[in-house]
Structure 1
Amino acid sequence: MDRDKLRELLLDTYRNAILSWIILLALVFLTFMNFMNGRYAWGILSAFVICIILLPALFFKNLSIMPPWYLILLVALPIVGNAIGYHLFFSSIPNYISVATIALLVAAEINWFTSVKMDHMFAILFVFITTLAISGLWHLMQWLLDINIGTAFILDGRSQETINTEVMNEFMYATVAGIIAGLIFGWYFKSRGKSTPNSIRFPSKNEDLTSIDTSTRPPAPIHKLLGISARKQELAMRIMQASLLIMMLAGIFWKDAQVALNAIAVFAITFLPNILTRKYNIPYDPFLMLWAILAVFMHALGALSFYETVARWDNLTHALSASVIAAAGYVIIRAIDIYTDELYIPPRFMFVFILLFVLAAGVIWEILEFLTDEMVVKFEMDAFLTQYGISDTMRDMFFDLLGALAVAAWGTAYLSDISYRLARRIEAFSASRNEK
């Protein structure tokens, strides 16, 4: 079974135990030193890492059961490097590879010791998403502390643009590290695929409990909850399409390429659901599609100087877009959860996963905006994605988080209908391929 590959992250050999404990004792020493020197953030981080590493040994009551020593070394390198010299590394990539390794160990332990069920491929996806999300959340929390209690973690007197460039570099380091870590872990699982089965006896899953969520009848679609009829949904869609046509004509008349192109792109997107349904028989909930199109429609309206003239318009569009991304992430993962026996994501873990997923998407979006700005300046083009400094970036991230929280806390209970339909579509597609 695929989830057995995660068991390769625990070893019960004399050599691995000795090397792992040497590294662990070094981390314990550095933890005390960090607290003694007033470096509480690093002290708390290293203490958390120690707990993650020790958890399997404590659970199995066997001090020789440890993660592979080389993974512990990857986790420890940034902590050691920070203790012996602030400029040991030329970039933050090693730090984020350490974060990715911690995320892998956390994913494995969640899989071993809770009702969550995942295979190694989902664990690698979780690692990539978590690495980006942690980078975004870390900088967001520092910014919130700076503006609310007067600290100087990020807002240290430099210009908004200079600080924003530095944070964008950190986001790109996190992305590169997430990709590198994913490739390394993928190779690791593949190379150990034919190794001797692990003799450690892991706790068994209660299949009756893990099947409850996928066997019960799904809730009603969200449009029934809100009492929005199909006719009203159709009317709202037609109003948006007419508005987009007017925007397109206005952009052409004003010779404003940004307005015209935004209107054309969003107008084309409004026909995408029907095309996918007719050609590929992919199901969708009309209200969810209206919700998604409303997000891009509001962005298109922003091109008509709404971003500059309407207070919080940018924040509103980010929150709405984040809620759409959260909903899409939930629907896809939930459909896979329903379809396959190799994955089980209970509601509490899904809540966390959605938040991480949206934060990671927000990091990628901010990188795209930053690179677009750089390209615009270099090639003297018209700006179509713009950043206005670190405060603009962090506000975007904050409202992304609010949109994700709204879906994670409330919307998922009414999104299962489309997940079930998508799961049935995946099953039918898989069956048709097996018949060929």
Structure 2
Amino acid sequence: MTTKHMALATLVQGTGAHPASWLQTGTRDDASTSIEHFTALAQLAERGCFDIFFIADTPAARTENLYAWKRFPMFMNVFEPITLLSALAGATRHIGLGATASTSFMEPYNLARQFASLDHISHGRAAWNVVTSANDYAARNFGLDKLPPHAERYDKAAEFVEVVEQLWDTWEDDAFVHDRDNGLNFLPEKQHPVKHDGRYFKLDGALNIARPPQGKPVIIQAGASETGKDFAARTAEVVFASDPTVAKGKLFYDDLKGRMARFGRQPDELKILTGLSVVIGATEEEAEAKYQHLQSLIHPDVGRMRLAQDLETDLSDLPLDEPIPVARIPATSNFHRAYFDHIAAMIREQKLTLREMCQSYERGNVTFRGTPAQVADHMQEWLEAGAADGFMMIFHTMPGGMEDFVEQVVPLLQARGLMKREYTGRTLRDHLGLARPANRHVR
């Protein structure tokens, strides 16, 4: 039996991650904008000793195909994540608080200030998921007709992260001395203004908040392209992966960790968390029935739209009960490479009808259906195979799916020595076993 403790995050959406979760009886109408609902979810995750409570985001509502989006209101009525997590920081004590923020539509100074503030408010529990964004709805909100090319977005992201990390080192850890006797609030020699003149950003100034408690918030990334993996190997401390099998997960794990040496990093400086959706039942049959019921609620308009969005092509003219022709696969992807590749493989290999694909496609993940013991066995297999350092849990329904996991699976994982029984550190870096970085200006 392994003694390695897994890292555990959860992706949180109001009623759950399933496109039909909001249709479930008893679901709150205001779930996506209820601070009381999110507070209860964060406290439940903390009771389950999760490391990261994670909010995905895009700075846009959908403005096209509303006939389909009305049945799947993803990102149509949601909190801005930094505001939400700042509120949750006061309602929790231990769990890490992570959020998506785009390098394509923000300025480094504003983002550095926001996440430094969140790290102070939470006493060292902030995490930033670095994304370049992957839809043109957001682009049009910021003066663009469409997103720039994939490679250009990653070039900009690399410079963005570089500037943000410099800003977080504006002040040395002991710069603010609060010496009342001598009337000295801070030591001027311990301020290090940032002077940056790059391809995408120009900045000459200093961050107006003390260095974050963690040195810098934990950096998360989820790119699956070659460019994305190099970016993660250079900058990320947590990566969300989406491989459906242990074998593929192991290949990704070894590939990404193997790239880190080129950037002067050690493999244990990065935690890879594979995405895992679970539906839990007292028996396999019960879990399968719960899953199939949810799948049956996906309207064909929603299923077709989700496939078209991630395949980056129009599928509206295709009949539902025939396979998608291989010729309809675009030559390349500019948005989510992992999702694009997954759909392309389904079309080429599985020969499913469009209707069947609408019912089975899960954006890179495969839902594991089983008993609590079977879920624990599945997670242990991935961990012991060296295919993951932990999991990004994706619950189809909230709070029910998370409650089932916390109450029925977490105790089994703890009994097997795979999960911690309590938090022993104070910061998110403590929970993940990540070192606090030294200030670059201090030898």
Task: Please classify the TM superposition score into its range, dividing by the shorter chain length.
Answer: under 0.3
Point out which structure has higher relative CO (alpha carbons under 8 A, 6+ apart).
2
**TM-score for both structures, normalised by structure 2:** 0.24
Considering only CA atoms, is the larger Rg found in Structure 1 or Structure 2?
1
Higher normalized strand content (fraction of residues): 2
Higher normalized helix content (fraction of residues): 1
